[in-house]
Amino acid sequence: MAEITAGIVKALREKTDAPMMECKKALTEAGGDMARAEEILRVKLGNKASKAAGRVAAEGVVGVHVSGDGRLAAIVEINCETDFVAKNDDFLAFARACAELVADKAPADVAALSQLALRGTTVEAVRAELVGRIGENMSLRRFARIEAQGRIATYVHGGAKIGVVVDVAGGDEALAKDIAMHIAATKPVSLGRDEVPAELIERERSIAAQKAAESGKPPEIVAKMVEGTVQKFLKEVTLLGQPFVKDDKQTIEQLLKSKSAAVKRFVLFVVGEGIEKKQVDFAAEVAAAAKGV
């Protein structure tokens, strides 16, 4: 029997995307024959979609669709495991198709979107086929649908890693586009102060209080320091309070007033935001698999 080295195990893993220990077992069963080991893995593991489903999908793209009359828009985030697949033409087409379905069919949630008809089958079936063919886990993470009160503007940046849809009443097309680009650049949490989640404010207040307490200043001064920090935070995370990226001498709120305009709603998706990416030490994985060979 041929010697089953760590290098052979690694080569089989790269070729099949199967777990290291499964590759080692297959090579052992195949007597070191790479082709036979690949056959064994295909029999044992079956469709890649079922095995890939457990892997973290933190890369991906944002897909955006705007109706022909410009009054309706949809934005979706679809995840995959690697940036390489995020650039795959079929994956990008799938994201665009899902965004169009969200706009046209207004599904209630991701589960409902998954069951909508697409290419003679369902969205879920198309997703599973892509997973099986490409070999990476993919998931429909979230979507939003906006029916405009004013005009829709969209902006996609960084290889579709950041996507914005904004509804601006009043002003002109150039203003709406500027607002969309500003949102992508500054990533506000909400439109105004009233919409900032209470837990975020309390977290900032707690941090500010701890820092201010270390100053040794009187309690009344500490209280003012804390409140000042919280107010600064609210300006930074609310769209209306932020300085306009093209002219930091005026806030977005001031810019909108000067154009007799208002932002009715915006949606910002940043790919992988909030997903904990698994850090894999590949060298350690290879070494661990090689210990028993």
Contact 59, 271 (CB under 8 A): yes
Type of residue numbered 226: V
pLDDT at 201: 93
Report the DSSP beta bridge partners of residue 146. Answer: 73
Contacts of 113 (CB under 8 A, 6+ apart): 98, 101, 102, 105, 107, 123, 140, 143
What's the predicted TM-score (pTM) here? Answer: 0.74
Contact 272, 60 (CB under 8 A): yes
SS3 state of residue 279? coil
pLDDT digits (tens), the chain, 293 positions: 567 888 888 888 767 667 778 888 888 998 988 888 877 776 665 444 445 555 666 799 999 999 999 899 999 999 998 889 999 999 999 999 999 999 999 999 999 999 999 999 999 999 999 988 888 889 999 999 999 999 999 999 988 999 999 999 999 999 999 999 999 999 999 999 999 999 999 988 998 888 888 888 888 998 999 999 999 999 999 999 999 999 999 999 999 999 999 999 999 999 988 776 554 444 554 455 455 54
Q: Is 19 exposed, middle or buried (0-12, 13-18, 19+ CB in 10 A)?
A: middle
DSSP of 45-112, one letter per residue?
H--HHHHHTTS---EEEEEEEE-TTSSEEEEEEEEES-HHHHT-HHHHHHHHHHHHHHHHH--SSHHH
Report the DSSP beta bridge partners of residue 145. Answer: 74
